[in-house]
Amino acid sequence: MTIASSETAQGIKVNKNQSHVRSSLWRQSFRRLVRNKLAVTGFAVVVIMFLACFIGPFFSPYTDNKINMALMNHAPYAKHWLGTDTLGRDVLTRVLQAGRISLTVGLASMVLSVFIGTLLGIIAGYYRGVVDQLIMRLADLLLTIPSLPLLFIIGALLSEWKVPPDYRMYIVMLMLSIVSWPGLARMIRGQMLSLREREFMQATIVLGLSDRRKLFRHLLPNLVPLIIVIATLNIGGAILSESVLSFFGLGVMPPTPTWGNMIDAANNMIDFQERPWLWLPPGFSIFATVIAINIFGDGLRDVLDPKQKR
């Protein structure tokens, strides 16, 4: 770094053409993200998915989901672009309505698990000692049990206890958060441990700042990039897990449609072989959404991950 030359100007070391000094780190990151074509594509796909699912059904004449025995299992044609299902309902409309549920479950469980994971990770990493031990042993315990079998067991229990289908969606969100916070908490804690070794944290100690200031003004902003990346990738994971659960009839139950329980059609040999329009659209939706979220998340990581920063 050319300290000498820039120092002589007694001013800010900034490119001349970059007139506004306040170009924040966020703006730089954003610029780098936009340059990553793959990530932008991923983001576009996610946005399109969200818009289609949340706005699309308003333009469909079939949202009442009336059972129409005269139009059962019809292949795609002009009036029903993706055909109709076993009860004569429009598949396209149902895929979009299912998307609402699947995306909501993914988002909500992400928010919850990021909240729990961040909070516990910060507490563990900042206070260390006994609290750290407790939180991390609990996390280890949850991490040693593979999450899918764990989800299956809880799902089976719920069915056993006859939980009303209306509530299952919320319980599924909760389940997904419970299995995904430990990995998150561990990452946040790791980041906290490396942050507290950084010299600027030494400086906050030397300045006699309070814990509150150190945590919320110094540590949290440095965790935000990591949290954003984790949160993004977490949505993809949650959507996938929800689909798997629902596919096996252990997640969200019909009549509430989700992509997972729609693919259930593929369980039926005839449907699987003869009526691909029943399971291909929800399958493709899951595939496209999860892949797009992961590509976007990876792009974000490249830009934001502290390990790669400078």
Partner 1 sequence: MKDLLSIDHLQTFFKTEAGTVRAVDDVSLRIKPGETVCIVGESGSGKSITAMSVMGLIGNAGGKVEGGSIQFQDRDLLKLSRNELRTIRGHEIAMIFQEPMSSLNPVLKIGEQVIEPLMEHLKLSRKAARKRAIELIKQVGISRAEQIIDAYPHELSGGMLQRVMIAMAISCGPKLLIADEPTTALDVTIQAQILDLLRSLKEESGMSILLITHDLGVVAEMADYVAVMYAGKIVEQGEVEAIFANPKHPYTKGLLRSKPIMNQLRDELYSIPGQVPNPLELTESCYFHDRCEQCMAICRTKQPELIPVGDSQQAACWLYEEEKRYA
| 207 forms part of the interface with partner 1 (CB under 8 A) | yes
Positions 79 through 108 that interact with partner 1 (CB under 8 A)? none
Buried b (16+ CB within 10 A) or exposed e, 81-104: ebbbbeebbbbbbbbbbbbbbbbb
Among 4, 69, 70, 270, contact with partner 1 (rule: CB under 8 A): 4
Give Cα separations from 52 to 106, 158, 188, 258 (angstroms): 16, 32, 34, 15
| 11 forms part of the interface with partner 1 (CB under 8 A) | yes
| 13 forms part of the interface with partner 1 (CB under 8 A) | yes
| 130 forms part of the interface with partner 1 (CB under 8 A) | no
C-beta separation of 88 from 68 below 8 A: yes
| 308 forms part of the interface with partner 1 (CB under 8 A) | no
| 31 forms part of the interface with partner 1 (CB under 8 A) | no
**DSSP per-residue string spanning 136-179:** HHHHHHHHHS-HHHHHHHHHHHHHHTT--HHHHHHHHHHHHHHH
Q: Which is nearer to partner 1, 223 or 239 (CB)?
A: 223
Q: Which is nearer to partner 1, 6 or 159 (CB)?
A: 6
At residue 15, the 3 state secondary structure works out as coil
C-beta separation of 100 from 166 below 8 A: no
Positions 170 through 199 that interact with partner 1 (CB under 8 A)? 196, 198-199
| 24 forms part of the interface with partner 1 (CB under 8 A) | yes
| 218 forms part of the interface with partner 1 (CB under 8 A) | yes
Among 3, 70, 78, 130, contact with partner 1 (rule: CB under 8 A): 3
- CA dihedral for 22, 25, 26, 27, sign (positive or negative): positive
Find the part of the chain contacting partner 1 (CB under 8 A) among 5-13, 45-53, 66-74, 253-261.
Answer: 5-13
Find the part of the chain contacting partner 1 (CB under 8 A) among 170-178, 213-221, 240-248, 270-278.
Answer: 213-221
Measure CA of the first residue to CA of the last residue in the chain; give whole Å. Answer: 13
Find the part of the chain contacting partner 1 (CB under 8 A) among 37-45, 80-88, 160-168, 206-214.
Answer: 206-214
**DSSP per-residue string spanning 247-304:** HTTSSSPTTS--HHHHHGGGGSHHHHHH-HHHHHHHHHHHHHHHHHHHHHHHHHHHHH
**DSSP per-residue string spanning 189-206:** HHHHHHHHHSHHHHHHHH
| 131 forms part of the interface with partner 1 (CB under 8 A) | no
| 17 forms part of the interface with partner 1 (CB under 8 A) | no
Please, which residues have CB within 8 angstroms of residue 82's CB and are 6 or more apart in sequence? Answer: 76, 90, 91, 92, 95, 277, 281
Minimum CB distance to partner 1, residue 268 (Å):
54
Q: Which is nearer to partner 1, 175 or 304 (CB)?
A: 304
C-beta separation of 186 from 121 below 8 A: yes
The residue with tokens 């790669």 is 308
Find the part of the chain contacting partner 1 (CB under 8 A) among 56-64, 119-127, 212-220, 284-292.
Answer: 212-220
| 157 forms part of the interface with partner 1 (CB under 8 A) | no
Minimum CB distance to partner 1, residue 14 (Å):
5
Minimum CB distance to partner 1, residue 19 (Å):
12
- The Cα–Cα gap between 96 and 18 comes to 45
* Residues at the site binding partner 1, with contacts judged by CB under 8 A: 1, 3-4, 6-7, 10-14, 21-22, 24-25, 196, 198-200, 202-210, 213, 217-218, 221-222, 310
